Structure 1
C-alpha cells in the first residue's frame, strides 16, 4: 500500500534534515582518526542515518548527542541498557568498586551473594560468569558436547546467539547453508550444526530422534529476525522431545529476559536445562551468566574430573572480574525488580495499544508482536511462524526510512527491524510521542 517512490522521497528529505541537524556528529565522522571506518566497532555503522549520532551521555530513558539533541531511547543499547541508562544503584556500586580493584581472579563476598541471587531469580541452582553472552553460548555448547559425547547441536533458522561460529547456519529454500556473512569462515558447519524452522514439530522430532544432537540452543521466542512467537504447545513439545532423546535444552534469554521477572521460561515455561543471560544483567557492563540444573552440574563435574589438567577452552582471564560481579550484584539487588517489570509491562501495553491504533487508522495489513517489554511492528497481517517467513516480510527500505524519520524527531528505535524496548523509566509521554510521530510518518507516506 505504500508507494516506493514515496519512501524514496521521504528518505532523501530526512537524510538532508539529519545532516543539517547534526553538524558536530558529521564533523566527528569526517575527522576521527585511528578507527577502522571511523568507528570503534563496525556495527555502529548499521544505523539508518548517513553517519552515526555521536552520544554525549545517557540517563534513564533518554540519550543526548554531542549536537545537544535529546532522544527518547527505545533501543536502549540493543537490550544492554534495558533497565535504563546508568541506574543510580549501578552507578554508585561501580564508582565504589573502581577504587577497590577491578579484576582479582579471586572470589569475593559479593560474588557469593550474587550466586544465590541468580538462583532465586531464575530458578536454576548452579551458575558461571562470562564476559559476554557470545562467550557464554560458546562455553555452553562445549559443555553440552563434552558431557553428552555428541557432536551436533540444533538451532532454529534465523536465530542469533552472538558471535558463535557454530550457529551461523541458515535455511535457504529449505536447504541448510553456511551463512555467507560470517567473515573468514573456513570450516563447514553443516556436519555439526542442524538448522530447522522454528515451530516445526515434525522436523524437530526427526532431528532429535537420530540420537546425535548434544543440545538444542534456542530463544523461547525468536527476537533477532523480527519477533517470531512460539506456536501453542511448541515449547512444551520441545521440552518433551529433549527429555525423550536425552538432549540438553538451552535457552538463550539474553533478549527474552524482557518477558518478565526471571525471564520468559520462568514466566511462561517450560524450564531449560541451561539458561544464558547477557547484556542487561549487568546494566551494560560487559558480563553474562549461564545457569544449570544440579543434574547438569554433576555431569560437568565428572567431565572436569576426567580430563587432563590444562586449558579447558572455556572462559577468559576477565570472566567473573570484580567489576562485572559488582554490576550484576547491584542490578539484581536493586534495579531488576518485580516493581520495575510492572512498570515496563504497563508501558509496553500502552505502546501496543497506541501502535494498533495507528495501524487501524491507516487500514494497514500490519500487526504488533508483543511479549513483556519487547514490542515489534511487523509489516505483515499474519504473524510469521518461522525465520523464513519473518525474513520474507522485512522491508528494509521502509523500516530504515521510518527509523530515520523518528530519529529526526527525537526518537531512537533499534537499528535492526522495528524493535522497541520499554524500560522501568520510560514515561507515558515518550510512548505517546512515538506513536504520534509514527502516525505522522505513515500519514505522509500514504498520502
Structure 2
C-alpha cells in the first residue's frame, strides 16, 4: 500500500501585494488551461485518420505519433505550423502537443483535474512524459492511481507506479527495457556550456569495469602530477589527468599513428580590435586570446595558421555540389539550421532558390537546414527567401511569417587554427 503525503491548505494573505501575486498566478494558470484546450481542439480538427495516412505518405508528409498508443496522430507539417504559433521551436512545440494528447486521450482522470485547476499543468505534463511508453492498459492503471493524488505525490512515487504498471501489464516490455539499460552507456562533453573561465562539464555512464579502470587511471595520473611537483588540488589534478589521457591515449593503443591534439578551432575575432575577446564557433561561447595561446602551447599540438575567412565574401561554383570553401563559409555563417527557433547542427546545404529553377550554388543562395525542415520546405508548403546572406524570411503554410537572422556581427572575421 502506498502512503501519500497529506494535503495542505492555504489561507488568503492579508497582504494586498501577495493577494495580487496570487491573482496573477491564477490568471496565468487559467491562460495555460485555455491554451491547452485550444491546442487539443486544433489537434482534433487535424487528426491523421487511417485514410488520410495513405495520402500523407504519398505526398511525403508523415503522420506524427507524438503520444502513446491509442492517442491520435497529426500531420507533420501542420504540427510545425502549430509550434511556430506557440512561439516554440519545432521540438518544443511537438513535445507540448504530444504531452497534451497523452493527457487528454490516455490520462483522462488527470486531464479533468487539470481543467478544474486542481493539478498544475507542468506537473500533469511530467506525469504524461512518464506514461507515454506504456500500453493503453498500463497508462489507464497509472491514471487510476495517480490522478487522485497527483498534486502531492513525489516523482519517485510516480516512477514506482509506472514501473509497477509496466511490470504487471507489459512484462515483455519491462524485460526488454532492462536489457536495453545495459546498453545505455554514454559520455557527454558539454561544449555548449563552455565559458570564459575555460572549463567544460563532462558526464559519463560507464560499464562498472570500465568505471573502475577509469578511476584507477585518474587516481594514478593525479598522483603522478603531484610527484612531478604539481601543487594543484586533487580534483584539479584528476581533471588534468583526464585531459592528458584524451591527448595521449586517443588511439586506444590500437593505432600508433596518433600525433596528439589536432582540433580545428574557428575563432571569430573583431577585425578592428583583434585583442578583444572573440567567439569560439565550435561551442558558440566567448573566447579569450590567452586560451588559444595556452591550447597551442600544449605539448604535442601541431599548429598551422591558415588565411582569415571573410564570411561576407561571395563564393560560387557552376556545379550543383558546393565546394569545400562554400560549405565552410555557409556553415560558419549560419552555424545551425535556419528554420525558426531550430538549433540542430546535423544539417544539409539547401539551395534557397532551387537548382532546377535556376538557383546557383553560391554562398548567397545556400543555407543550412536540418533534414526535417529541409523536407518541410521541399514537400510541406513552407517557403523562405534570403533577404541577404544570413538573413531569412520564412512563410508557413497558413501564412505566418518570421525572420531568422544568422548574420555575423559587423567587423567579425574567422581565423582557423588547426
TM range (shorter): under 0.3
| Structure number, greater radius of gyration | 2
Given the two structures, how large is their TM-score scaled by the length of structure 2? 0.23
